[in-house]
Structure 1
């Protein structure tokens, strides 16, 4: 409940308005029985008057208006909380950087962002209604005591077991629903993974296998869903039984009071109405179920928000090429105490067998991945935002147009966009597009190599003291790759780290770092490594 109540802080004004409107409606509901009792007794005595009936009508109208306003405020609070929760979740996911755990699968992230955040946002009105129900239950019980202590005693006798029953049953719903959401997220993650590799699946003829893999958690999902519905069924019939027993016990006592003369007919009517108010906590089954399910959804959102993101470092004031240093860097299962020093302005190619950790090293260089141990320095200081630009082997273009994609994240760029495209050997094919640089990305048919060149152009345009090319020219022919390398050599103020698979790429670098078994096996010029290390020759002979 505390976690859900904190959600109201994401939209304090709509949440407060919801609470005020609901409280106004409940206050009117509490006053109605007392006024109605006076009206009834007045009618029976033959002198009803006009004041109390008018007061009763005003209370009923006020309650209706307050309930209507509460509905509007509740919708506003839910939507505002959901929007802000999604915004916070999206920012935190980006702050976490490159995913390292299965919890960060795309499908699972979408499930948390779309479904879980929405369900958690709906909890705010339910929290307000539940808190007010607790208050009005106490008010109704006090009113029963004030009418006659015997009515209050009968009501109190059944309250404690009812509360314990509700607490246990709603706990069962929350646990079952949490398991349901976990399995649903697993299915979403596997589905997104398969859709991303749809061509491979189709080419391999493994559609049936993939369907089975995606739906593997389905029996657990069905079991968790059935358990959730069973818990809801159990709470519904037991609560209905409790309500019936409560009503019979209290109303029988009130009727006996009218018969014996210690309760007036108007008092009987007031007791019946106050009984409904006092039983408000039992009428909150739907809200309690909503809260249990919202708590499970909020738990999945909080699980991700609670992951500690690396602290954002402000850009360094330094200018010009910078030394890139990796000292004692360890990433469990990949790198083991790696040391690498790249001189300022130099181009170092990193080679190694598949799975040796080349891409992991590239991610570490720009702070996209935090090492388990060791440190990464640019110009002698921890790597900071804006110091390192990246070009990846499979770049994702973001923005509305081709120009937007190159300048993405740097809206102030203008002439630099064309210059960067020319350096990346992309200007010619961009100008052949229907609207040139203004061509919408959705209407720009691009090959894999053209995508890579636009990714290179984006990295060049973004500047930075270090440029990391993570196999960013693998889709280019050797002539185009040589032209790109020549253009990059002409860029002043860039230290370059190149993940290479071709002997020609390694040969053009100033130095080559041979990565093997989590460490740098050798560092030197390509010609020297080729001459002195048969393993190096064998590696690039097979990959290049």
Structure 2
């Protein structure tokens, strides 16, 4: 499946990109129409309102003609009252119809967009980690927020604008011919050059506007990268503050030039439009005034026709943009469908076997398990057979790239094996509801992820029904309760972006407390202390020991101190189990594990 970057192209580049995307990812019109099937009634009402508004509005020039030609010259009070009242009534009715039409169209658009947005979010949640690893940064957010969001404009604005413009053009053209076919012919002669000039000016402005939007995007990226907490830290460390300021200044200076060009292009567009609106009526007045061409034309006819002619220009221009709007709309749908059509690597069972967490023993078994990444030449895991007895700790050791983390990802079903199966209490994980697996199996990784909210909310995210006492109990067990109590806001302390309010060890202990609240039966510890100093590691290790009590634990580690207490140790090498046993058994065998210990590859400072 093709991936696109997080930013959307703009101006001409956007149109070209949309055409290229559609050529590579065509979208069925039938599929687009199917989105609106549940809203057939609303579509019919909106179209009816558009047609009614356009037709009712066309009565105005005919009333004006009667007022000017008959009511005013003849001082016909009755006709004057009815005519003036008719003009007010037409304005009132068309305004009400347009409000109702906008309300119905917007509501329909929001509902369609809501269905797409929630469907896409749910679908992406079911994807494997590999899907997100292979996606470009920001692409998922861009499609979920930007592309789906722009569909609101497509559905409510573009679609209704096309329908309204088409109805207005057809109805107005018929009314113009009915009032004066001679003046209609003259308008046809003047229209082409007028439209050509307006389009050329609009195209120029669109190009400049596209460049301006691109520069604004660059400016926003600079702000996001340089003024984020990580960016500021890196800038201070690397001493790039001056260079960053110069880059920002240069981008801002270029934006000034583009803003000026955009503003002037806009003025040229307005000037061109003003000339067009002045030239066409002038020609019509000239024709109507010359004895040779007037043919007894009344003033009312001229005024009514001029009003119609002025009103037809904008919808004609709008219809000329249909191709661009159509391509843009189809590209948006195609991008969203592209993600919706992505195959689920982690298929949710149609008839899942539900687990009662209270009755789960926690026995995990890997039966002839193999795993290969799509781009890899050889399997990461090859024919593994391993049993994790309930309530025991199994330590996995091996060199970098031996497959330890991949094995750890199989237990919570972050990945599915490409061969063999992984079972929980004898049931294949692929047959179990994902939410049930998440309730039973938890992971504490080297990099803990905290939400940008309070400590309390971070803990409740794992167990929403936890009481205050349970929160403090988990913090006590994680060896961090004393620190939280010492903070002015206690549990309501904000952790900051990505948890930067706390140190790495403190973040890790908060993550452990959060996991404790879930009370999992199976625990995966993926090098949870490898990036910590000795003192912090001791605190975190205490918390992990507390967390592992009574749980089936898979410990992925590279330090001797963290594997000595394991019930069994498994040595991985190039995706295969080389040997397994207790610490003393493996040292006594003098095999691969003994070599690692002898070479201090597993030794920590206190070994």
In the alignment, what sits opposite 1:103?
136
Q: 1:348 is matched with which residue: 391, 394, 399? A: 394
In the alignment, what sits opposite 1:385?
435
**Count of paired positions:** 537
2:136 aligned counterpart, secondary structure: helix
Within 2, Cα distance between the matches of 1:520 and 1:222?
61
For the Cα contact (< 8 Å) 2:479–2:542, is it kept in 1? yes
Q: What TM-score do you get using the length of structure 2 for normalisation?
A: 0.66
In the alignment, what sits opposite 2:165?
133
In the alignment, what sits opposite 1:406?
459
For the Cα contact (< 8 Å) 2:559–2:604, is it kept in 1? yes
C-alpha distance after superposition, 1:444-492 (max 9, x if no partner): 964322221221122232244532223223446454355334334422x
Within 2, Cα distance between the matches of 1:543 and 1:402?
32
The range that moved more, 9-18 or 148-157, is 9-18
C-alpha distance after superposition, 1:210-258 (max 9, x if no partner): 7899999999999999999999899877777766666566666666799
**Residues 1:424 and 2:462 aligned together:** no
1:336 aligned counterpart, secondary structure: coil
Q: 1:316 to 1:191 in 2, by over 3 A?
A: farther
Q: CA deviation at 1:137?
A: 1.0
Within 1, Cα distance between the matches of 2:412 and 2:124?
17
Q: CA deviation at 1:87?
A: 6.4
**Residues 1:36 and 2:64 aligned together:** yes
The range that moved more, 8-17 or 130-139, is 8-17
1:343 aligned counterpart, secondary structure: strand
For the Cα contact (< 8 Å) 1:258–1:264, is it kept in 2? no
**Residues 1:338 and 2:381 aligned together:** yes
For the Cα contact (< 8 Å) 1:119–1:297, is it kept in 2? no
Q: 1:126 to 1:505 in 2, by over 3 A?
A: same
Q: 1:176 to 1:420 in 2, by over 3 A?
A: farther
Q: CA deviation at 1:349?
A: 3.1
Mapping of residues 20-169 of structure 1, within 5 Å: 26-43=54-71, 45-46=73-74, 48=76, 49=79, 50-63=81-94, 94-96=125-127, 98=129, 99-101=132-134, 103-105=136-138, 121-123=152-154, 124-155=156-187
Q: What TM-score do you get using the length of structure 1 for normalisation?
A: 0.73
For the Cα contact (< 8 Å) 1:328–1:375, is it kept in 2? yes
Q: Which stretches in structure 2 are left out of the alignment for 5+ residues?
A: 1-17, 19-28
**Residues 1:321 and 2:369 aligned together:** no
Within 1, Cα distance between the matches of 2:101 and 2:207?
30
For the Cα contact (< 8 Å) 1:243–1:282, is it kept in 2? no
For the Cα contact (< 8 Å) 1:395–1:451, is it kept in 2? yes
Within 2, Cα distance between the matches of 1:37 and 1:25?
20
For the Cα contact (< 8 Å) 1:23–1:132, is it kept in 2? yes
C-alpha distance after superposition, 1:410-468 (max 9, x if no partner): 312346545544443344544555566x4444599643222212211222322445322
Within 2, Cα distance between the matches of 1:228 and 1:363?
52
Q: 1:439 to 1:333 in 2, by over 3 A?
A: same
In the alignment, what sits opposite 1:471?
527
